[in-house]
Structure 1
Amino acid sequence: MGSIPMQRETDFRASATAPDRAGPPAVVRTSLPGNPLAPAAARRFVRAALADWTELGVPAAAGFTERLADDSVLLVSELVTNAVVHAGTAVELVCRLDASPGDTTDFLVIEVSDHHPSRAVRGEQLPQAAGTPEYGRGLHLVATLSESWGITYRTGTKTVWARLPVDGVHAVDEIETYASEQATQRGLRAAEILAPLPKRASHDTEWVNRGALTFLAEASDLLAGQFDEDLVAALAGQLLVPRLADWCAVWLDDASEGSARGPADAPGARLARVWHSSEHRIEELRRVLEKEPPRLPDAAGTGAFPVPWPGEALAGGGSGAALAYRLTAGGRALGTLLIGRAGLIRFADEITGLVEDFSRRVALAISTARRYQRQANISQVLQRGLLPSKVAEIPGVESGIVYEPRDKGGPGGDFYDVFQAGDNRWCFALGDVQGKGPEAAVVIGLARPWLRLLAREGYQVAEVLDRLNQLLLDDATEAADAAAAVVAVAGGQGVPPDGPTSRFLSLLYGELVPYDGGVHCTIASAGHPLPLLMSADGAVREAASPQMLLGVVDDETYTSESLDLRSGETLLCVTDGVTERRSGHLQFDDANGLADALAGCAGLDAALVAERIRRLVHEFSDRPPDDDLALLVLRAR
């Protein structure tokens, strides 16, 4: 691409705000994580900063234009994308209004700082030495749009910055591009640089500089929101065809067998997507490509690699140019992207570079989708192990259950169980662990089996809570001792990030003994929302007394209460995801809201009661629940 004019690389930090300018320069900053959503968050942040400065009446805001907003969004998108997508690092973003000494012109300065400048760029064999300038395609685009730009190295930090004049005057370098009559007729400005015959087209300079970045920004947003790798492949094809190619194909390596360098014809690779501007050619193209996938040598890296034109599949379509890109993220090959365009001897350099940038985003989206799917699979397996495979049937008792973890498919902090504990004895439990995810799963995995074991050993309700409380305290003590040992080995540098947390458990636990005409129920509540008993005529009352959470106090002694469930009477047990469901400042159980909801369920069977309470909880607020929902309904027949 040639060298970048070095005279434009001036470090604005040497400048100071002119003394005759009123007020300090406006500065806003934010930190962005190293994930695919960072560029979109950066674009929103810049637009919000400009809007806030305008609303606050900052003097420089009088010169803000739509062009400045668009250019600043494109600049920050490219800078953050290079830092996050290409290098895989978290970044700090700073936007500020500044002025040069002796100049009345205001400038918008955008800084993107990488706090891991020595980390190797993804896909490179060796890390670059500190202080080595990187003049990639992205920085050429930054140089084109900005009035001045530069790279500043400091200890532990590398910052790339760009400066835009607020008055909307921009320096734009003339660059080489291509145009074609066919693309113009289609109205596809993105395809105008694909014509087989090159010529000067200065009127297209704006698109090459600005449209390419817009395409990448929009593509990043679309790809980053997908958590299915096949959908990512489908979107890749639709984004490229017909904008930049006549057809496109995506191979995906097996998620468990992908290697650092895996060609499309490697074992386990599958043709996930084929897309053609002429839909009737898609299946024929697929058949040919499945037989002859592109073969990329190891030396191909992630750049464009010319491959033979699949003429068989495109009979009557003439010849053309085809390029393959290895999709790599985190040093692991995930697949291959193949594009083709009829009527070309070779793709223009601008297109090969643009598609290479695009392929990196596709690879990152595939990698993210696979990590998400792996985590979802682990969570689903874990969830199945933490909940009963089936609910025991109790003679003379109907049961209804609702269980909705906040993170769909993931382990929640709530759990339930209904099981037979012996001859004519059944037990039920509804619990809520402090915390979510793996930490909660550890406590549930400890508590539920012990509940069953203690119940089947013949321990009474209160005794079960006593022993489970001591078990949680003992387990927390062992975890604390292990953490203390880690701290000692580390030289007393504090508790490690993955150190122990308090393992508190709220639990509603009871025992049921059926008899002729009803069910005898013994119940105890440890720090849990109290159960409600509804008589056959719709009267509702609390069925237990509050007691201390489990896992808090060492010498706590728990008690139980007894009642009889007669025909038509209903016992409702819920977690705080029901009682504390919010709508503004109100909670669902304010002013006995849960009791009133239960009273309205008189005459319904257990399953219908559970469903009606669930529906009322959801309808209480327009927003989705922000906690796990679990409820258990037991009704005597």
Structure 2
Amino acid sequence: MGAIPTQRETASCACGAPAQGHMPAHGEAEPRAQTCTTFPGSPLAPGSARALVRATAAGWSADRLPGADHLTGRLVDDAVLVVSELVTNAVVHAGTEVTLELRLEQGAGALVVEVSDHHPSRAPRDAEAEAPYETPEYGRGLRLVATLAESWGVSFRRGTKTVWARLTDQARAAGGPESRGGRLVLERGLRAAESLAPDPQRAERDRDWLHRGALSFLAEASDLLAGQLDENLVAALAGQLIVPRLADWCAVWLEDEAMGRGWADGTAGAGPRLARVWHGSENRMEELRRALEKDPPHPADGAGTSGPVPHPWPGEALGARGEHGAALAYRLVAGGRPLGTLVIGRAGLLRFPDEVTGLIEDLSRRVALAIGAARQYARQATISQVLQRGLLPAAVAEIPGVRSALVYEPCDKGGPSGDFYDLFPAGDGRWCFAVGDVQGKGPEAAVVIGLARPWLRLLAREGYRVADVLDRLNRLLLDDATEAADAAARALVRPPAPGDGPQTRFLSLLYGELRPFDGGVRCTLASAGHPLPLLLGPHGDVRTAARPQTLLGVVEDETYTSETFELRHGDSLLCVTDGVTERRDGSRMFDDADGLADALAGCAGLSAQLIAERIRRLVHEFGGKPPEDDLALLVLQAE
């Protein structure tokens, strides 16, 4: 490209395409003089293009072509600047071939500059070095096309894309408004060219990463996002994934689904909540947050799609170096439900590269799915907590002459536990207590507990003896109506499948009755398939206080019996579930070789609360891992 191409006055460019694209307006004279040449991808191309402009202008002036008298030095300088920026961005940065075309308009004294990319879908420079299975990066031949088209013009022909500028010096000499407007357009375009000319090293790094790391980035991002069960953590993680790799800053707004639906219908809403703001520079985060909160995104902007829409640039919050840039908003939609908006920004750009916008659109869909999953988990956890509270007593009754202490630790914090307890007054100077364990967890266990607790209270207050209460509860659990309730509970979890039938409901239960008297408390209790209660004397002696019997819900005609004994001053009764006795450490269990009795013997002289806390601590310390089963224990101590 060392030699300067020869100018030609012709009606077609060197590639044979018709000279069209700029349509004269307001009676403009048709173009009279024209020259064009093709510049391959070469670092020398901008210099050759500048030389071509000056040589062409000098030639037109020397030949005294019509309109050449308006080619002032200032106008030629403007044309040189425009051509230099266009060719530099297209040839040097993108590596594609372009055709430069200059026209002189007769009478108007205007110089028209056109730069056409004849390979708009050809991969940029060095694309041939990519592996054949990688997706090429298309359409970056003219980085200024979209920006300059706003001020000047853009034309499309078969196989080409052209950006053109019409420069004039007439009105500028007179100081009229046309010159000022034209000069402002030129200056705006040149500022855009300056901001769009990227840091070559950063552009090269971005291009290489997008080609070779985008798929693995999305895969790793999916794994990270899928492991989060809190929507605020999802928002924070999204910011760390995007900044600084894909953008200079990022913000995530969250909205509840009812609000999002209302806005989509055009009604007013309370507005989204700015959950997270992330910037590559930490000292910019707070100022950026304040600026973004003043202008939140509205769901009407792309409410039904995850594709990007422009977002106002918060230049005042980003300092002098961030005065100009591009920002895009992505709606976060999962399952047709609007969940929020993701906004990204990058300084020094007026338009994000298509490769980046497409990648973040894919990422935004994954962020939306993670937020939706986190919200679903939160809803289920809330329902489970409400259900759990309904299955347990609001308060433990106080019994005259008896101190009580309770430890209750459900293993699964996200669902109803299979363990339950109760301690309530039954009338006529009686108090009753129960510690039970239902086979299984979740809704099926909740059904059994929801039946057992109120029936225990009802039967006790009706005056039934301890053994009779167990007899009737056993028949209740085997009743067909209970099976129907069980099936309904399973239907809440998953639709019934062929072959599904009523599930057997087993309940282990320790149930007892307390009658205070002068000098102590008379206790009557029975154990139905439950770990036997232990009685601790004031001097450390330990014995079992009941005999083993069959689980409830197993044998229809089972008859239960009870034992009665007295708790004197200092005596303590320990009732536990199998989460205590069957706590594992490898192949060993906590109650192997009377381990629970030995632990209780070491609690002689302690209050009920200290006994409960010590047993709980010993159970936790027994295994190297946290307990994998629900844990419940009740201590009753005679004063």
| TM score, norm. by length of structure 2 | 0.65
Structure 1 residues 554, 145: closer, same or farther in 2, change over 3 A? farther
Asked if the contact 2:405–2:635 (Cα under 8 Å) also holds between the matched residues in 1, the reply is yes
Q: Which residue of 1 aligns with 2:254?
A: 252
Specify the alignment match of 1:281 in structure 2: 284
Aligned to 1:555: 557
Q: CA deviation at 1:332?
A: 0.8
Question: Structure 1: how far apart are the matches of 2:439 and 2:411?
Answer: 14
Q: Is the 8 A contact 2:302 2:309 kept in 1?
A: no
Offset of residue 327 of structure 1: 0.5
- 1:514, CA displacement in angstroms? 0.7
With over 3 angstroms needed to count, the CA separation of the structure-2 counterparts of 1:146 and 1:534, relative to structure 1, is farther
Number of corresponding residues: 449
Q: Residues 159-174 of structure 1 correspond to what in structure 2 (within 5 A)?
A: none
Contiguous gaps of at least 5 residues in structure 2: 1-127, 141-194
* Contact 2:538–2:605 (CA under 8 A) maintained in structure 1: yes
CA-to-aligned-CA distance 1:377-403 (integer Å, 9 cap, x gap): 111111111111111111111111111
Q: State the alpha-carbon separation in 1 of the partners of residues 522 and 480 from structure 2.
A: 34
2:507 maps to a residue whose letter is L
CA distance 1:304–1:377, shift in 2 (3 Å): same
Corresponding residue to 1:617 among 616, 619, 627:
619
Cα distance in 1, alignment partners of residues 267 and 327 from structure 2: 15
Contact 2:483 2:503 survives alignment (8 Å): no
Q: Is the 8 A contact 1:531 1:544 kept in 2?
A: yes
The residue that corresponds to 2:499 in the other structure is 495
User: SS of the counterpart of 2:484?
Assistant: helix
- 1:513-552 to structure 2, matched below 5 A, reads 513-552=515-554
Structure 1 residue runs without a partner (length 5+): 1-143, 148-169, 179-193
1:475 CA drift (Å) = 4.5
Q: Which amino acid aligns with 1:515?
A: F
Q: Which amino acid aligns with 2:447?
A: V
Judging changes above 3 Å, is the alpha-carbon distance between structure 1 residues 574 and 440 closer, same or farther for their aligned structure 2 residues? Answer: same
Out of 505, 508, 531, the position equivalent to 2:507 is 505
Contact 2:410 2:631 in 1 (8 A): yes
| Matches of 1:500 and 1:196, distance apart in 2 | 71
Displacement of 1:437 = 0.7
Number of the residue aligned with 1:15: none
Bigger mean CA deviation after superposition, 256-265 or 206-215 = 256-265
- Look up the SS of the partner of 2:478 in the other structure: helix
Partner of 1:294: 297
1:494: Cα distance to partner? 3.4
TM-fit CA distance, 1:264? 13
Task: Describe how 1:226-237 pairs up with structure 2 within 5 A.
Answer: 226-237=228-239
Supply the AA of the counterpart residue of 2:278. W
Structure 2 counterpart of 1:314: 318
Q: Is the 8 A contact 2:541 2:601 kept in 1?
A: yes
Correspondences of 1:172-251 after superposition (within 5 Å) = 175=137, 196-197=197-198, 206-251=208-253
Which protein has the larger Cα radius of gyration, Structure 1 or Structure 2? 2
The 8 Å contact of residues 610 and 631 in structure 1, kept in 2 or not, is answered as yes
Q: 1:205 to 1:270 in 2, by over 3 A?
A: closer
How high is the sequence identity, in percent, across the aligned residues?
71
Q: Is the 8 A contact 1:264 1:336 kept in 2?
A: no
SS of residue paired to 1:259:
helix
SS at match of 1:351: helix
User: Cα distance 1:470–1:626, how it changes in 2: closer, same or farther (>3 A)?
Assistant: same
Q: Which residue in 1 is equivalent to 2:71?
A: none
Give the distance between the partners of 1:541 and 1:452, measured in 2 at CA. 28
Which of residues 586, 589, 592 is equivalent to 2:588? 586
- Cα-to-partner distance string for 1:305-343 (whole Å, 9 max, x where unaligned): 222222343353211000010101111111000011111
For residue 575 of structure 1, what is the aligned residue in structure 2?
577
Do structure 1's residue 271 and structure 2's residue 284 form an aligned pair?
A: no
Task: Note the C-alpha offset of 1:544.
Answer: 0.4
- Conserved in 2, the CA contact under 8 Å of 1:177 and 1:208? no
Which residue of 446, 467, 480 maps to 1:462? 467
Q: Is the contact between residue 310 and residue 329 of structure 2 (CA under 8 Å) also seen in structure 1?
A: yes
In the alignment, structure 1 residue 429 sits paired with structure 2 residue 434: yes
Task: Give me the CA root mean square deviation.
Answer: 3.0
TM-score by length of 1: 0.66
- Structure 1 residue 495, shift from structure 2 partner: 2.9
Higher mean C-alpha deviation, range 257-266 or range 205-214? 257-266
Matched, 1:450 2:467: no
1:216 CA drift (Å) = 2.5
**CA-to-partner distance for each residue in 1:439-480, whole Å, 9 max, x for gaps?**
101110110011111111111101111111111111556529
Paired residues of 1:261 and 1:298 also in contact (CA < 8 A) = no
Alpha-carbon displacement from aligned partner over 1:540-573 (angstroms, at most 9, x marks no partner): 1111011111111111111110010111111111
Change (3 A) 1:580 1:601: same
User: Does residue 404 of the first structure (1) align with residue 409 of the second (2)?
Assistant: yes
Shift of 1:269: 2.1
Query: Which string of whole-angstrom CA distances, capped at 9 and with x for unpartnered residues, describes residues 228-280 of structure 1?
Result: 11121122222222222122111111144443985998545222222223334
Paired residue secondary structure (2:450): helix
